[in-house]
A and B are shown apart, each in its own frame.
Chain A
């Protein structure tokens, strides 16, 4: 919906900024565009990052957070992608960053962005209702038919459900709901058998003994659940996390990339990030710089592309 004249004007500003970029970058406030509404997962991350940057004076100017929800993230991604060369715009990403262009829902492709850094990964925990009598992957295998809740066919939990079914050779029936809350409710009520839950959302249920964890999708065990094995340990190939990071538009001057890469590294190492985000949400702390992130983007994108071809058959 952004009008072209507006875009051209902004692009002109961007070009100007590119040529003028110097030691005193950034000269203006930087806007971090969030693809979810306030209160959503990416929003919490964005606001935490902005707080660390502003309170710790990691940048000479302020970092502002702006929500552009809608279109399954497409509206925000397109907004960022269109501001080519503008070093004062960046955006948060989620699974939709990779999936929306593959589904033909967003004109902005993953190649239209300059990756900056990934600073955490949110793992998924396979959980069952406590009284279901399921305790291990073998119990699941013995069931033959399983109903797994997810939040739509092109989400991480759905992808994980299909991979699990293929590996164990059982029939999975992926039941889509409107949100993780509804999935957990259905699981607690015994209407479905399994859920690949986001750690932050199912941890309270695990602590209360309402849900039992079977395995986690992170590369290593979670600090908060030291007794729960990873899928890899159980001899499975499943490994997937929701990568939390930031991207900028393409054609970014190298100075800007280096500057924000460095800021994000400091963010990921800060105490506030570790206590307010990583610990609180049971995330996995990690840091990918711009090069590593750029190298991983096609890999992750291919993972989803392969999955999409399997479910569309």
Chain B
């Protein structure tokens, strides 16, 4: 009976020393997580004259836009490249994933799970294992079709769609698996076929899945480095992650510009995270926990 006395105050109902201590730990952890953000924003805001390594923890002395103006001028066209690559690649890979996921969850056939697993393997491979043949393939496409794939954003869109299909298919498959099959059977009794069930019933129900897949793919493709750096050699045509790396390695660029550039390059995915964090969390859990 003595234990009951202890149980009279479950956590959260009353303040305790345990809560105080753990909150302090959480605040210390928060400082750790915000430190790199502080370093980037703080030093990005400094002028070229005032940015120095020995004062990196000091606040800027005046607010004049610091390195942001030059960072934006240097990265603007690469930001545009990234957008031109990310938007079509995200939309296309989401649409293909929706169709695949629908079939793999509601119209299974013998061996469909195995085929899906073989597809999913493509998401987990280190891309180094396909990089050289992929470059050769794109170069061949250039010659055969006369359309520039290798060296252009078009080629990047193509590979991001192809290597995005496994994960978008997985997310949609898990999403559709939770939609009751009775709903489809009722529609079938009313004379709907596989395709009309998809367009009339499943697609309108899929808005949340499209948001999740959209965020997941946008973030993944925006943050990609390896495909961008191998497929596009021309600095003017490269996505922003590669341009930021070049900026950071260049000796002629002031340090405040590099920091501001990191903030600029991070901004689109950071804003998505800040405004859609609920869906973002759902997306990353959907993309990682296999059903």
A, B assembled together: no
User: Which residues of B are in contact with A by a Cβ distance under 8 Å?
Assistant: none
